[in-house]
Amino acid sequence: MGVIVLFGSLSLVGCIEEDGAVGVVEEGATAEGLAEPAVLTPDAAEEGPYGCGAALGTPVDGGFTQTVQPEADSLLLGAPDVPVNPHLVPGADAAHEMMLVWQTAAGTIGGRAQVGFAEDGLSWTIPGVSYAVAGYRIHVVRLCGLASDRSWRFRVGSDNGWSEVGSFTTFPEAGVDTPVRVAVIGDTRNGPASFASLFADIDAAGVDLVVFTGDAVGNGTNWEEWSEWYEAGGTAFLHQPLLFAPGNHEGNDQYYFAQFPSHTGVGHQAIEAGPLHFSVVNDNPTAGVTLEAEAAWLAADLAAATAPWKLPMWHKPAVAACQPHGEDPNNRQWLLPVVDAFPEVRLVLNGHNHNYERSSPYRGGQVVEGGVVHLTSGGGGAPLYTGSYGFDYSALQVKSQHWVLLEADARTLNVTAYDLAGNVIDQFTLVR
């Protein structure tokens, strides 16, 4: 079987400009029931996706002093090995990018994705890279050049085995005034049954994106816990893109970074999704992550963002009354002044406290009209917290497993929180 290898420095529409190898593409390959093109060219004028310009690196741990070097996947036939835990991670420009991630045995390489429009066959084959992580192999295919606001189908795997067919819909162009729907959930650890029920409700709601506020598992270096988490989410992971803020239980470890890569290669990242701009901060300091540096990144990102709604997000709340955690003093020192400095920031998303809590509009240390609503969504399955410090800025606390729906256009952001039974536990609207 012949291959075509594409090299060069390319500026790719919908992607960050990067140097290096674009990837290896099969020539004349076929699969049962699929029609694949003989040549795949990274041409933005073509109506189809292509591999992003360079491979991702992923940190070994939160120190970021070493990296796991990706191995270019080749077509190596080995023992049967069906992909497990396939899931979707949005790229920086969610209108044009998507990352497909899955896990196999350590010896399985040759990973790739087959992608097509929802109404057509799987017309394009996109190569990936992989990482050996703790006895397994994590594969990543980065898709660029996707048509915006369009439905897609895909499957991932290799000659050793293929996943089920999944689907996703790209967002509208960044800044476009098209309504979008986003689910928020976090702190699912130790509660797979609750998470399974809540995630099924999220899936049934037909959201465009799931925002996770951290702490999927109790021990971020335990594959069994991660496997239990994916099993609880079920087939929803095949069509619900997941934007993840790392929690303290993820431990800044290679397990997390390999499964939820970002275009920055570190914990923080930003994505554009129609009228929404998410600024995701890693608030778990280590030798490689300092809150001072994260605060500087957040300030620069918010200053550059042009979307109607700017939504900062991190794990541990800077404004919360729930016991035992309450407010995180470090985030209150470093991150709170940043969001307070941007009048256009009206909502911050957090987890960590195992309940639902909404602050009154708050800025500069006091409740003010047009201030920032700090929303804690940490009721995804973890044992609930029942105490309260009783701070006067706390507008509502509900000790309930729950998820939150954001419905946004350029002028209005509607927020509705639902409990396990589907009851509305809170509802409010922000207007620009």
Domains delineated in the chain = 3-169 (2.60.40.380), 180-431 (3.60.21.10)
What angle, rounded to 10 degrees, do the helices at 223-233 and 192-205 form?
40
Mean pLDDT value across residues 321-342: 96
pLDDT at 73: 54
pLDDT at 42: 35
98 pLDDT above the threshold of 90? yes
Out of 100-109, 248-257, 297-306, the most confident range is 297-306
Residues forming beta bridges with residue 88, ordered by sequence position: 100
The rounded distance, in Å, linking the Cα atoms of 143 and 101 is 11
Least confident range of 88-92, 123-127, 195-199, 271-275: 123-127
The rounded distance, in Å, linking the Cα atoms of 258 and 131 is 7
Fill in the DSSP letter of residue 92. Answer: S
Residue 338, amino acid: V
pLDDT at 35: 28
Residue 332 or residue 118, greater confidence: 332
Q: Is 380 exposed, middle or buried (0-12, 13-18, 19+ CB in 10 A)?
A: buried
Residue 97 or residue 335, greater confidence: 335
358 pLDDT above the threshold of 80? yes
Confidence of residue 27 (pLDDT cuts 50, 70, 90): very low
The rounded distance, in Å, linking the Cα atoms of 419 and 185 is 11
Residues forming beta bridges with residue 427, ordered by sequence position: 416
pLDDT at 69: 53
247 pLDDT above the threshold of 70? yes
The rounded distance, in Å, linking the Cα atoms of 49 and 404 is 32
Coil, strand or helix at 403: strand
Least confident range of 38-47, 84-93, 122-131, 251-260: 38-47
pLDDT at 384: 96
